């Protein structure tokens, strides 16, 4: 009997993922897999047994929409046996413990493979399973720092590296990286391959995100950083400018035809033939700034954006959720929390970012979410082959919940 419900749809329908992470890149990975149709089972420790994991708000990580949930004490022998029973019917296990923790729990790759030779174990860590930084703790800013991303970004007012406004390392360097690796492993297994242990390093993912700059340095010896080339602030055609009302506009007129159009519509035709003239950049920027300062942001968007100038407004989060383009694409969906956890602090109805990536499940009507306290232990463990009395005994001993 599969763990996945029979009515699950999507490109990954029929794939079951056991998720041992509550937050961070691994949770971003399984969020993607669930939105592609996989049955994601979120497994946490039994409340009150050891250190409780971080419990994000009910709306975080899209409210764990379409995910199942149960708690297992993996330090208990019977708990490990129950988990391995789930592994026997699963396709993927995603975990984000420090290197070596799964082996110490007797749940390393070899232990998982002994009950399911086709299992895919995705271990997502900051720096990977080996290397001199493998044991280091870290968060998004640390991985952006070591991977070159921060040094290649525009310095802040004090001249130091900036803070990124989104969790780029967690989401792209880790979450998307892990989801891509899992999907590749599923394809390889379907083509006759076997299971595999995926060593997902978030810092490696950031290195890949910065690879255009790194590869140029390796090939040429150039000191690649902010202000080095057209996409890192060297030229006035690629940057941000303040409008008369204090709003900002982003300009990305890289191609000469776009740059020419921008110059003419800004009233700066004298600079059409000087796009990559280093000696002229200070004056071009000054003239661009003066031009943009003559109108409000909305007026410039209307005058420039539709006319091949590569200009767009720099939008705040409240503006993003009112944006007509995202509305037309159905990017935001309604969610309804069916009941509340203890305390009742979570809103009962709210909007959230929907399954927006290509090929994901579409949403018809409000998404029904369940409180984090709701457990699917009985259904999942029965599907894994445990008898009703076995599950009851595990519940009585607080090994599962």
Whether the full predicted model's pTM is greater than 0.85, yes or no, is yes
What pLDDT score does 50 carry?
67
Distance CA(160)–CA(335), nearest Å, equals 40
Q: What is the mean pLDDT of residues 54-69?
A: 88
Q: Tell which residue, 79, 76, 75, 58, has the closest CA to residue 67.
A: 58
170 is catalytic: yes
Percentage of the chain beyond pLDDT 90 is 86
- Average pLDDT across the chain, whole number: 94
Neighbours of 117 (CB within 10 A): 10
Q: Model confidence over 239-286: pLDDT tens digits?
A: 999 999 999 999 999 999 999 999 999 999 999 999 999 999 999 999
Mean pLDDT calculated for residue range 15-44: 96
Residue recorded with tokens 């929390």: 337
Catalytic member of 73, 76, 170, 204: 170
Task: Calculate ∠ Cα 268-271-272, nearest 5°.
Answer: 100
Tens-digit pLDDT profile for residues 319-356: 999 999 999 999 999 999 886 554 556 678 899 999 99
pLDDT of residue 342: 46
Class of residue 306 by CB neighbours under 10 A (exposed 0-12, middle 13-18, buried 19+):
exposed
Per-residue H/E/C for 50-70:
CCCCCCCCCCHHHHHCCEEEE
What tens digit of pLDDT does each residue of 359-393 get?
Answer: 998 888 899 998 888 999 999 999 999 999 999 99
Nearest C-alpha neighbor of 120 from the set 198, 64, 15: 198
pLDDT for 327 equals 96
pLDDT number for residue 339: 67
* Structural domains of the chain ordered from first start: 16-208+331-396 (3.40.50.10540), 238-314 (3.30.1540.10)
Region 76-96: what's the mean pLDDT? 97
State how far the Cα of 245 lies from the Cα of 192, in Å rounded to an integer. Answer: 61
The active-site residue, picked from 130, 139, 277, 296, is 139
């Amino acid at each position: 009997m599969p763990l996945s419900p029979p009515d699950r749809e999507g490109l990954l329908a029929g794939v079951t993922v056991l998720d041992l992470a509550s937050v961070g890149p691994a949770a971003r990975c399984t969020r993607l897999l669930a939105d592609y149709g996989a049955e994601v089972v979120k497994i946490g420790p039994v409340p009150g047994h050891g250190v409780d994991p971080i419990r994000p708000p009910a709306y975080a990580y899209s409210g764990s929409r379409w995910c199942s949930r149960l708690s297992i004490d993996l330090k208990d022998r019977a708990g490990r046996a129950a988990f391995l029973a789930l592994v026997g019917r699963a396709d993927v296990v995603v975990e984000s413990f420090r290197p070596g923790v799964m082996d110490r729990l007797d749940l390393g790759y070899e232990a998982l493979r002994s009950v399911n030779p086709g299992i895919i174990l995705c271990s997502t860590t900051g720096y990977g399973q080996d290397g001199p930084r493998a044991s280091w703790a870290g968060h998004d800013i640390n991985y952006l720092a070591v991977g070159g991303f921060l040094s290649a970004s525009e310095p802040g007012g004090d001249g130091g590296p900036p803070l990124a406004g989104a969790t780029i390392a967690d989401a792209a360097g880790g979450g998307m990286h892990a989801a891509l690796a899992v999907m590749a492993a599923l394809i390889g297994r379907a083509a006759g391959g076997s299971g595999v242990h995926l060593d997902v390093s978030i810092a490696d993912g950031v290195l890949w995100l910065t690879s255009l700059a790194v590869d140029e340095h390796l090939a040429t010896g150039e000191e690649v950083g902010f202000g080095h080339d057209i996409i890192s602030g060297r030229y006035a055609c690629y940057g941000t400018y303040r409008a008369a009302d204090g709003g900002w506009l982003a300009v990305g007129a890289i191609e000469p035809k776009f740059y020419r159009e921008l110059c003419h519509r800004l009233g700066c035709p004298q600079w059409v033939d000087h796009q990559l003239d280093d000696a002229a950049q200070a004056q071009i920027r000054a003239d661009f700034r003066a031009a943009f300062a003559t109108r409000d942001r909305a007026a410039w968007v209307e005058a420039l954006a539709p006319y091949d100038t590569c200009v767009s407004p720099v939008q705040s989060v409240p503006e993003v959720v009112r944006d007509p383009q995202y509305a037309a694409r159905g990017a935001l969906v309604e969610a309804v929390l069916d009941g509340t956890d203890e305390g009742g602090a979570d809103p009962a109805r709210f909007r959230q970012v929907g399954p927006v990536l290509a090929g994901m499940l579409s949403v018809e009507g409000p998404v029904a979410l369940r409180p984090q306290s709701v457990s699917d232990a009985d259904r999942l463990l029965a599907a894994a082959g445990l008898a009703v009395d076995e599950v009851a005994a595990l519940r009585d001993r607080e090994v599962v919940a």
